[in-house]
């Protein structure tokens, strides 16, 4: 698996994105959310959506942090690594685990969005994310069937593209979808 070799983290920074839970709580306390008159089902969908969008953001940011740590690790000299006394750290597992969690969470969000607002769901180009999500979710089927290869989410050397099997997704597209979903739900609150 390639190591990230860029000297700069190319994953877009979405840390400035307001938390959806915070907006939800503020809206609820001010009575704004209740005044929207949503039915019980829509209220439940929105409440779940709020927590999941923050989870997707969190997982993305944790992957981004691990990319930064990988870049920092790769910039260390042999002497610095020896002096530290712990050997060299590999962050690729953290990176891919957090990206998988983010993608799986987005898959759930897409299902909720389809129920909340089918036109917005259609506007988002979710196919690449859904394809990778489905591959992640069903990877154990490939393994138990004895199919080798394509069982680990990969990230390219620049840290800009993830892939699994024949599916590819630019990390910038992943960040953009998280932003759009965040703005969407905040507008409903």
Q: How does the average pLDDT of the chain come out, rounded?
A: 89
Query: Is 102 part of any domain?
Result: yes
Domain count, the chain: 1
87/92 Cα distance (integer angstroms) = 16
In a domain, 156, yes or no: no
Range of the structural domain that residue 32 is part of: 20-136+172-188
Q: How far lies 65's CA from each of 47, 79, 104, 107, 154, in Å? A: 28, 24, 19, 22, 17
Tens of pLDDT, residues 78-100: 898 889 888 888 898 999 999 99
| Helix 40-75, helix 171-188: angle, nearest 10 | 150
Q: Is residue 3 part of a domain?
A: no
Indicate if the pLDDT at residue 49 is higher than 60.
yes
Model confidence pTM above 0.85: yes
CA distances from 54 to 9, 50, 76, 188 (A): 22, 7, 33, 15
């Amino acid at each position: 698996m390639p190591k990230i070799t860029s000297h700069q983290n190319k994953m877009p920074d979405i840390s400035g994105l307001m938390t959806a839970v915070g907006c939800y709580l503020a809206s609820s306390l001010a009575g704004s959310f209740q005044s929207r008159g949503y039915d019980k089902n829509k209220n439940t969908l929105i409440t779940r959506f709020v927590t999941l969008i923050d989870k997707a953001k969190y997982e993305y940011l944790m992957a981004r942090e691990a990319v930064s740590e990988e870049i920092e690790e790769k910039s260390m000299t042999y002497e610095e690594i020896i002096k530290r006394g712990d050997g060299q750290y590999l962050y690729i597992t953290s990176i891919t685990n957090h990206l998988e969690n983010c993608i799986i969470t987005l898959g759930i969000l897409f299902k909720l969005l389809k129920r909340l607002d089918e036109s917005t769901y259609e506007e988002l180009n979710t196919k690449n994310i859904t394809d990778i999500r489905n591959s992640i979710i069903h990877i154990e089927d490939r393994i138990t069937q004895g199919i080798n290869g394509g069982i680990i989410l990969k990230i390219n050397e620049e840290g800009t593209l993830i892939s699994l099997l024949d599916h590819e997704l630019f990390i910038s597209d992943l960040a953009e979808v998280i932003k759009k979903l965040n703005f969407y739900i905040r507008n409903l609150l």
